[in-house]
């Protein structure tokens, strides 16, 4: 907005880059003799370092031999590995040249990123830098290099170390032009907004592009984390229930009739007989209980041919379903559900710190508020809270989405929790366990 200020910023950046370049050249020169003995010699083809870079021929990638080489994952690159030589395999996310003889790479593996740098002459030849510059974004590379800890924090990458490249091989070259730049797809809305203000103008990757090129969009740190988190959600659900003597069962999805009232059904032809896709494992989990399995759960797809286009309706989703024998009182179910969820929330916070952080960077959120022992409100108490806030609700009906939202807000204000159980619904309405289907 203020041209002078921007200009001086740019000038300062230029100066800093220059100083950085100098520092790196000195570093490379110092490292060179030990590595190859060609420092100070003017480089001419053929390059004596030619074996240290290049595309790996396809035939060498076809299960020829087991080399015994050990790769370090990008996520494992930390200060503890300082000055150690490592071998990493990842995708080139960005390439940035600083003149003819220096280039910076961001290498990404499973959403984790690290800065790699090539500086010639010395241990790296200018031909090698030239070669590296031809590697397209999203190509797979094998990099051998030494881990260094730079004096300043690296903003652009997840890992706070740098790899000084000794060898670089391209394992598989990506197309030169891709519909999505993963770096662009990884930015938060706030970063994009800010870039529009400062004139940097980051590209916004729209939802349709993301869905049309899903495999590229999957590579963002947030999406990588979402899949790891989803995996942990079902894993923690299972582990808790298995410890509580539940059995996981696998129920049929192809059924002869509808499995639950109220939900529309997908119909299909089953060898000339009419069949449906199960809208719920309700029937089969109840059969399991009648069959004396005692406590069962199901994790699997549920199909609902509903025409509602809300964020609460999906035609296909993965349902986490439980069913159990009750000894004396339905509160036994609430006890299980209460402990199950608190356990899942606790363990997700504990085990998935990095994943939650990665998601938060792109999609900021505040941690879930929940109590050690889950708040249980009766339907009547819920209705009363709504009434006290001036909302009229049918005491014998169901809560609509809007009333539920308001009640959630009231509960958060009064009890400081976003997770609670509402029980003793009127008979005319749905039952508690439907909320779990």
DSSP reduced 3-state for 281:
coil
Q: Residue 211, interface with its own copies (CB under 8 A)?
A: no
Interacting residue with its own copies among 235, 384, 417, 430 (CB under 8 A): 235
Q: Residue 243, interface with its own copies (CB under 8 A)?
A: no
Q: Residue 331, interface with its own copies (CB under 8 A)?
A: yes
The least distance separating its own copies from the CB of residue 267, rounded to whole angstroms, comes to 7
Per CB under 8 A, which region of 36-44, 117-125, 153-161, 270-278 contacts its own copies?
270-278
Q: Residue 268, interface with its own copies (CB under 8 A)?
A: yes
Site string for its own copies, 119-158 (x = CB under 8 A): ----------------------------------------
* d(C-alpha 1, C-alpha 192), whole Å: 17
Instruction: Report the residue number, 308 or 366, with the smaller CB distance to its own copies.
Output: 308
DSSP reduced 3-state for 93:
strand
The least distance separating its own copies from the CB of residue 91, rounded to whole angstroms, comes to 7
Per CB under 8 A, which region of 114-122, 152-160, 162-170, 328-336 contacts its own copies?
328-336
* d(C-alpha 233, C-alpha 332), whole Å: 23
Q: 436 and 320 in contact (C-beta within 8 Å)?
A: yes
Neighbours of 250 (CB within 10 A): 10
Per CB under 8 A, which region of 16-24, 282-290, 390-398, 407-415 contacts its own copies?
282-290
The least distance separating its own copies from the CB of residue 395, rounded to whole angstroms, comes to 20
Interacting residue with its own copies among 26, 191, 318, 378 (CB under 8 A): 318
Q: 20 and 152 in contact (C-beta within 8 Å)?
A: no
* d(C-alpha 19, C-alpha 312), whole Å: 55
Residue list 60-119, contact with its own copies (CB under 8 A): 61, 63-67, 69, 71, 89, 91, 108-111
Applying CB under 8 A, the site for its own copies has a residue count of: 65
Q: Residue 291, interface with its own copies (CB under 8 A)?
A: yes
Per CB under 8 A, which region of 117-125, 190-198, 302-310, 366-374 contacts its own copies?
302-310
Instruction: Report the residue number, 328 or 402, with the smaller CB distance to its own copies.
Output: 328
DSSP reduced 3-state for 104:
strand
Instruction: Report the residue number, 81 or 233, with the smaller CB distance to its own copies.
Output: 233
The least distance separating its own copies from the CB of residue 365, rounded to whole angstroms, comes to 22
Q: Residue 238, interface with its own copies (CB under 8 A)?
A: yes
Bridge partners (DSSP) of residue 145 are 86, 165
* d(C-alpha 18, C-alpha 24), whole Å: 10
Identify the burial level of 39 via C-beta atoms within 10 angstroms of its C-beta, where 0-12 means exposed, 13-18 middle and 19 or more buried.
middle
Q: Residue 250, interface with its own copies (CB under 8 A)?
A: yes
Query: In b/e form, how buried is each residue of 1-28, taking b as 16+ CB within 10 angstroms?
Result: eeeeeeeeeeeeeeeeeeeeeeebbeeb
* d(C-alpha 247, C-alpha 287), whole Å: 13
Q: Residue 34, interface with its own copies (CB under 8 A)?
A: no
* d(C-alpha 157, C-alpha 107), whole Å: 9
Could you give the angle at which helices 221-243 and 331-351 cross, rounded to 10 degrees?
Answer: 140
Phi, psi of 289 (to 5 degrees): -70, -45
Q: How far is CA 82 from the centre of its chain?
A: 28
CA torsion angle 156 161 167 172 (round to 10): -40
Instruction: Report the residue number, 232 or 430, with the smaller CB distance to its own copies.
Output: 232
* Interface with its own copies (CB under 8 A): 61, 63-67, 69, 71, 89, 91, 108-111, 214-219, 223-224, 227-228, 230-231, 234-235, 238, 242, 247-250, 252-254, 266-271, 277, 287-288, 290-294, 300-301, 303, 305, 307, 315-316, 318, 326-331
């Amino acid at each position: 907005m203020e041209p002078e200020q921007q200009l001086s910023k740019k000038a300062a950046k230029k100066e800093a880059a220059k100083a950085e370049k100098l520092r790196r050249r000195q570093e490379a020169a110092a490292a060179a003799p030990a590595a190859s003995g060609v420092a100070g010699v003017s480089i001419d083809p053929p390059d004596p370092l030619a074996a240290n870079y290049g595309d790996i021929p396809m035939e060498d990638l076809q299960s020829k031999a087991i080399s015994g080489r050990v790769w370090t994952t990008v996520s494992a690159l930390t200060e503890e590995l300082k000055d150690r030589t490592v071998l990493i395999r990842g995708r080139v996310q960005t390439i940035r040249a600083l003149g003819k003889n220096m280039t910076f790479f961001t290498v990404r593996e499973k959403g984790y990123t690290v800065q790699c740098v090539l500086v010639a002459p010395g241990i790296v030849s200018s031909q090698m830098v030239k070669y590296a510059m031809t590697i397209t974004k999203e190509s797979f590379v094998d990099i051998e290099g030494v881990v260094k800890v730079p004096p300043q924090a690296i903003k652009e990458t997840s890992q706070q170390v740098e790899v000084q490249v000794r060898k670089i091989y391209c394992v598989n070259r990506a197309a030169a032009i891709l519909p999505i730049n993963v770096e662009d797809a990884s930015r938060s809305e706030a970063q994009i907004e800010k870039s529009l203000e400062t004139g940097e103008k980051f590209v916004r990757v729209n939802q349709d592009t993301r869905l049309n090129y899903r495999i590229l969009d999957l590579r963002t740190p947030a999406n990588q984390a979402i899949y790891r988190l989803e995996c942990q959600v079902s894993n923690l659900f299972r582990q808790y229930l298995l410890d509580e003597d539940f059995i996981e069962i696998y129920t049929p999805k192809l059924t002869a009739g509808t499995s639950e009232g109220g939900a529309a059904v997908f119909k299909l032809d089953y060898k000339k007989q009419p069949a449906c896709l199960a809208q719920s494992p309700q029937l089969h989990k109840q059969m399991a209980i009648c069959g004396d399995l005692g406590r069962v759960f199901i994790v699997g797809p549920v199909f609902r041919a509903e025409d509602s286009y809300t964020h609460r309706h999906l035609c296909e989703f993965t349902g986490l379903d439980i069913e159990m024998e009750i000894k004396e009182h339905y509160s036994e179910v609430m006890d299980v559900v209460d402990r199950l969820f608190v356990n899942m929330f606790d363990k997700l916070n504990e085990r998935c710190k990095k994943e939650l952080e990665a998601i938060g960077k792109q999609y900021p959120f505040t941690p879930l508020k929940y109590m050690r022992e889950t708040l249980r409100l009766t339907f009547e108490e819920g209705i009363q809270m709504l009434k006290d806030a001036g909302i009229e609700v049918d005491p014998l009906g169901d809560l609509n989405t809007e009333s539920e939202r308001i009640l959630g807000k009231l509960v958060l204000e009064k009890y400081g929790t976003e997770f609670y159980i509402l029980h003793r619904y009127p008979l005319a309405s749905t039952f508690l366990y439907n909320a779990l289907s």
